[in-house]
Structure 1
């Protein structure tokens, strides 16, 4: 039964080789508690990137193998014999469950399990002082989201690790995102390796602290009004800030994606819509998680895209609505400042549609409306390979015009 150890186990699991995952929102460490009247450490934690702990609790060797292959090396066992057997086949750090307590190989108590099936039992979990360093909460009352949010709120600013038992990857995501910051981690109690794969994919898509995209400067070489076309407005379930937008490129010149700004800026004639990007025509590509692209026309409610700022920092966002309408278009071409490549994009010819300049370029402007864009202006682009198959970059001979 597998698990990833986290920073909260620094003393208790000093010998482990488990890995942690960093999610995008920095926060203070959560505290951990013991089983009945749970009391926790209340000393303030240092501000740092939040590392998430994943423990996988299973009797399936394939699940164990999948977890180890993904860097998760701390395992929970109900049987010491099974723990010894698995330790002989893989480099792992075993922990053992005895009732509502969890011990390491040296029989040191490293965590407790707290079963919560009522509001009263939830109220008993409070960060008053130190009895154990870590707590595993097993929500059994049917409710999960609100109790998890209450725990996140109660233990912010305290040391330790608070985890919740999850029976699938979707449930784990709920706990990891409670009140945006999430619990410190989860105990993934599963018998299907697909849940390991899905949870790892979740971390890969959101491991944004390590994922800063390289944006380069390009100089506008052509601006031309071209006529009518079907353009796509992408409305997100998230608000965007000045400097943020979507990476978009047309089917031709797909080797360069323009950073198209959101409609978050205030204007005299129309209210700002910080959730919207007027992204381009139906045939254009937009960047989505996993290093892929999607046609704008294929986006729909529930899909994910990546929102990027001027520095290349990115985050995922859920599409709430896609709106396609016929509007006048404008063609923009730009040349790579570091080479001979030329990129192009079609956008609606309107004052609310803008490209993003380099952070310190273009007189400090956050965005340049396409209606005032001129030859010589600098804009940000994301360079990529030229060929795509079903949204995946491939190496092949291709000519696009």
Structure 2
């Protein structure tokens, strides 16, 4: 399989027989296809390439212990102070401590060099791609397409955390990993924060049943519609509440109605003063959201993912005050929402109609809804331990 491009835009071409790649005078065979495992199912690989001991320390503290060295002396020195997995670069090849070749480096600065990368042979477990040209995104996407369903690891050299994200998100599933070649520990911190925000597939929030105790029409207020750059499915929404200690799961407008088209990217979330859950266990006021910020989308089972805010609309609309008490507890939580049929709260279980949410216009005392309990005291959206009374 070869990859070629015109003006940097790459396409995939299937060849009938394997070849040996030749890059910068170095001949090698690149392993690959034979496994049915999906690349998106495996954990992303991170190797760190640095000569800065602070970067090494920051990486080890965040769980990354594989380092690339051009000097065996430096690798030996660092191995004596921290438990790391040292790898050594020799030309366009990478060896471990036992001098076994475990990877090859392909320097790609032209379409012709990109053509030579192919997943047909089986001599090395890893291929490292060092993109030297101006194009990165399209060639990376074609590498992902070419190597999908193949065993082994394809990594790209990244010189900062932002560049790393490009490679990790190419064609959604991304490359298998990256080599972060940096001398600034801030890039280590930013990359770890990125992984923490994106680790939603295995993350689950504890949601609690609460019983509606009050439904009251209260008048006009400035409410916020949050339009995301992602689609939401039935049963998904945003965590919003008047108090951070108890936030309601407000459903998206993905459900069909007789009066208005479905808008699966939108949550009519509540008034400007309300809290909304964002990544990192933090909250923002709805009034603080703007294009480019991130929120967490949560489903009926507590599974969550991050989403980017595309647009925020603030308009004056009639509001309803809803209060609910935790089942089996004394805590009362409240939320204001627009008085409209398209605004709904997510319920613990599907109703007889198969719907997972109840419109606020149909809510009545005694109905059950889902809330997220958490610490109430906040400073700039961060939970803190202090005495606080909210009412």
CA shift, 1:209, in A, is 3.0
CA shift, 1:131, in A, is 1.7
Do the aligned residues in 2 keep the contact of 1:245 with 1:260 (CA within 8 Å)? yes
The answer as to 2:243 corresponding to 1:253 is yes
Whole-angstrom distance in 2 between the partners of 1:169 and 1:244:
30
Change over 3 Å in CA distance of 1:187–1:105 after alignment to 2: same
CA shift, 1:252, in A, is 4.7
Whole-angstrom distance in 2 between the partners of 1:11 and 1:113:
21
Change over 3 Å in CA distance of 1:371–1:331 after alignment to 2: same
Change over 3 Å in CA distance of 1:125–1:34 after alignment to 2: farther
Do the aligned residues in 2 keep the contact of 1:255 with 1:386 (CA within 8 Å)? yes
Partner deviation per Cα, 1:334-374 (whole Å, 9 max, x = no partner): 11013111111000000000000013457642111000111
Partner deviation per Cα, 1:291-345 (whole Å, 9 max, x = no partner): 0000000101000000000010000000011000000000111110131111110
Whole-angstrom distance in 2 between the partners of 1:334 and 1:23:
64
Residue in structure 2 matching 1:383, options 373, 379, 382: 373
The answer as to 2:175 corresponding to 1:183 is yes
- Which structure has the highest strand share of the two? 2
Matches within 5 A, 1:205-354: 205-247=197-239, 252-354=242-344
| RMSD (CA atoms) | 7.2
Which range moves more in the overlay, 126-135 or 22-31?
22-31
Change over 3 Å in CA distance of 1:397–1:121 after alignment to 2: same
Do the aligned residues in 2 keep the contact of 1:26 with 1:47 (CA within 8 Å)? no
Whole-angstrom distance in 1 between the partners of 2:281 and 2:321:
26
Do the aligned residues in 2 keep the contact of 1:33 with 1:126 (CA within 8 Å)? no
CA shift, 1:218, in A, is 0.5
Which range moves more in the overlay, 268-277 or 126-135?
126-135
Output the TM-score relative to the length of structure 1: 0.89
CA shift, 1:89, in A, is 1.0
Structure 2 unpaired stretches of 5+: none
CA shift, 1:263, in A, is 0.4
Output the TM-score relative to the length of structure 2: 0.91
Look up the SS of the partner of 1:371 in the other structure: coil
CA shift, 1:121, in A, is 1.8
Partner deviation per Cα, 1:113-132 (whole Å, 9 max, x = no partner): 01111222222212212121
Change over 3 Å in CA distance of 1:8–1:161 after alignment to 2: farther
CA shift, 1:201, in A, is 0.8
Look up the SS of the partner of 1:323 in the other structure: strand
Structure 1 unpaired stretches of 5+: 14-21
Whole-angstrom distance in 1 between the partners of 2:342 and 2:20:
39
Which range moves more in the overlay, 346-355 or 125-134?
125-134
Whole-angstrom distance in 2 between the partners of 1:210 and 1:25:
40
Do the aligned residues in 1 keep the contact of 2:49 with 2:69 (CA within 8 Å)? yes
Partner deviation per Cα, 1:126-181 (whole Å, 9 max, x = no partner): 22121211000001111110011001111111100000000000000110011110
Whole-angstrom distance in 2 between the partners of 1:361 and 1:261:
15
State the aligned residue count. Answer: 391
Change over 3 Å in CA distance of 1:62–1:400 after alignment to 2: same
Which range moves more in the overlay, 2-11 or 212-221?
2-11
Do the aligned residues in 1 keep the contact of 2:221 with 2:319 (CA within 8 Å)? yes
CA shift, 1:2, in A, is 31
